[in-house]
Chains A and B, each alone.
Chain A
Amino acid sequence: MTEYNWPKRDASTVIGKELDRVDGLVKATGAAKYTYDINLKNQLYAVALGCPHGHCKIKSLDISAASSVPGVVHVHVFDHAQPDREIEWEGELLVVVAAESEGAAREGLSKVKLEVEKLDVFTSAEDLQAAEKAGRTSKGGGKVETVNEPGDDDDEEEFVEKEIERLLKESKYVVEGYYGIDAITHCCLEPHGSTVEWKDGTLEAHLSTQNVSGTDEQFARDLKVTADNVTVHCDYIGGGFGSKFAPDYWGIAAAQISRETGRPVKFMLSRDQELKIAGNRPSGYIKVRLGADEKGVVQVWDSVSWGSAGAQGGAVSHSVLPYVLVPKNYRRVATTIKCNTAPSRAWRAPNHPQACAMSQTALDDLAGKMGADSYDVFLANLVNATNEKADVYREQMQIAAKLMDWKAKWHAHGKGGARGSIVDGLGMALHTWGGGANESSCLLKVYPDGGVTSFCGTQDLGSGTRTVCSQVLAETFGLGINDVRVNIGSSRYPNSGASGGSTTIGAVCESHRRAAQDALVKIFDLAAAELKVAADTLEAVGGKIRDRNNPAKNLTWQKACSLLGLKPLETTASYVRGTPSPLSNSGVAGVQMAHVEVDRETGVIRMKKFVAVQDQGLVINPKTCKSQIYGAVIMGIAAALFEERITDPATGVFVNAELADYRLARLGDIGEIVVELYEPESERIRGVIGNGEPPAISPKAAISNAVANALGIRVPVIPLTPKRVLDALAKA
């Protein structure tokens, strides 16, 4: 058995280096082919009609005029669009028109005649009372923990009620607050979709997906064939963020149309459809009472939270409330609300960003109430950290504070000086995530001429998967990253888990390092015989296989590989999720700080500076790793300040589902961002851990806290739009 391990920091020549991503040039020159870019000969262009109302019953659907439009080849009606079927969200696709050109398809679509009976719409996720009145609520669970336990004769609920009230009454400081974070939409720049072709009884599907190895089976199941008849390809994907794990019913429709017509079909959602039905991160709102001792350590937490994950129910899980810093006494109750919006999809770190924004805001208001430095209050509450990371947070806070120059910039809440109508403020938040490795298999070939190539059914969401795999192989064999060829993005390759939950880097590092180390053992055996040394004295460095004790005794990599004879050496390695391994780990911590300016006259918030300190175990490529964190912070700025899904309460229509109206951050909005990779030896030796989710968690809470520090009042609900800032100021 090979002993799998990573080289030590000072012995690494490729791992830990800031290398350019291997597919950087192909992307930046426009040569990279995304699903949307795949043009198959004789392909049809498909576009779809979405339901125009948030809640309705189909009365009739007439496609005859659409079918006779010149250029229209096929019209597909979904089963759920048959008369008398109820549609529960606006945008739900009803009809697909496939034509010789997109123009013809759209013209066909305009001829579809749809009649619906409008039903009652509910979209006000923030309004719990209205939801209750409309019968839209259901229990979302909850949990109670108290240090003192009820006696045998006590009624448990009554006891808890009394105990919570007693603890609050005995608290030196009590904060009562309301906080919230609205739904946002994923807004992938490459919309969901596929270009597919049935040929000789098999389906070739180019699918924009985070799940190359899993979607072939999903296609097969819905198309009633076996999975060996389906191949999914995705060389490049234009954004997923948790929303692209399945072919979706529109992908199945594309395949069905291709089977019907005998022609390839390209079917990508339109921009408004992408926003309306292919992304939705649940909203969360909370009423909190917390009590703290004289040092500001929270002793009791009592919350009622609610929110909506769309028409199929669900909301932010109560299990992560309060977030990370949990006192010994708490009661948390959650309610879910069914709204007439598309069902939610996973978003970077499901539940965590909302939970962070719904609870660490309350902690910051405690600092405000105490007139204390928020830093000190967070520090004091690290005793309540539930993830055994208090020491890491403490160190990260010190690093972040230094990078932010926190002490020099700090002022008590609302007590900073104003420049005209401009006030500034500081805020912080902290987070945690798992990020353990997903399952992954890698087939590796080392050719007798020295060529190295790997095959793995993973995908690169933009985090740099190809680059990381290349670095792992190159490091193992003592080569450069351009000396190895990494193949990913096809379901024909060995299975590798979906990219979700920050599980990819661990997965591919496990499979690639294992396959490479297995191969190297065999190459060492051959080289040892040739060099007449013991195999365990050999190392692969600088394009050579050499004796560690006598480097002059060496073979070039090519020479060593020639000893393989006529056939390439093939190794396959698999990692099973959850297996303890020296190569990967899970559980990370991060601290973030924001410095903002707020204009009290206009309500406009500007980012001055943002600091992110993040642990992710061993860093394979600091350059792409930092990019991930920059990106997470910028997404967080967008969600904190701008992103609003505005829904018309009367019709359920998402009225701003275009990029001109759905405000995202732009280049001028981000201020200065400083990223620090926290990688002391104690973290590095844990192995690789994913960092896609963790840095995306804290920005909203940190920015909200900075705004509260600037203004001296809380703007309760995120995004902190100018109107909300002005409303909060008017109310104060």
Chain B
Amino acid sequence: MIASTLVTLALRALLASAEPEQVAPPAAAPVEQAAGQEAHAPTAGHGAPAEHGEAAAEGGHGGGHDASLGAVMMHHVTDGYVVEYPGVCEGRPSWNCEWNLRETFGDSLRFGALDMTPTKHVIFMWLASAALLLVVFTALRGKAVVPKGLYSFVEVLVAFVRNELAVPNIGPENADRFLPYLLTAFFFILFLNLFGLLPYSATATANINVTVCLALFTFFITQYAAIRAMGLGGFLKHLTGGVPASLAWLWPIMIPVEILGLFTKPFALTVRLFANMVAGHFVILALLGLIFAISVWVFPVSVALALAIFLLELFVAFVQAYIFTMLSALFIGAAFAGHGHDEGHGEAHGHGEAHAPAEAHH
């Protein structure tokens, strides 16, 4: 409760004090007043623009960018063609060197309307994938009947996905066929989530274009499983929602509903993962932004709360990987079960857990 209140307060203060730079001067006065009242810090209004400059500098967003905190937060979470890193650039060490992918790749990866130029999220997706390969292949060196080292940990996760997600939801006879997909999805999402928590990195799973791709894989595999289990005829018949031919006049209602039903599942998967990853980052940025919006003296509270949310994010990284994998397994299992409407419990469960952090920032 306290955390959500503070986050709301922070967002209000940040965005309110950010306004003067974006809107016309007459609108600035009342908003600044409101910010001052909310934050109980009369100096905040005056100090805000100067501190915003600091915020931008500290956050590594100097130069000609929009320096308001709201913009800084958006910049952190959204995708782009500029990768920032600490290193040596223009002949001197700097905390915020920039690598412009547009400049590097130019138009070489533009195919008509399709722009395949790697973005920041693509780069960090590759880095996270490389980290995943590194971890898994390092772990594999410890593979033995009596496991040791990192392998034990990887194997625990594999065994968990297999015994707790795949087998109970899909059934022991079909589970192993879908296990590679579920395991890859689990580890891929987990590593992308965790990688996003590193300084300077970006969370690819906080991009709806990435999550929709993962959800589409689950969608296609689910349809494949359904067609395989029921045959193409059975699959098409299933789209009537089980309404018999004698009630064929109901089909114009049932078929669109069923087809919509097919797409709600991947849509839910897409938005759940995306929203959760974005929300956590927003909360952390908002809490740290309090330091610049109110006063530097709120830093103990800000940093402590941001740390708490960061730890929560670590947990959420696992939970979201788990939920995505679990729901994928559930959908595949439901396709095998013949009629895919018994996943309501899993959906509700997923929503309850997954949306708590997302709601915190509203």
Q: Do A and B come from one complex?
A: no
On A, residues with C-beta under 8 Å from B are none
On B, residues with C-beta under 8 Å from A are none
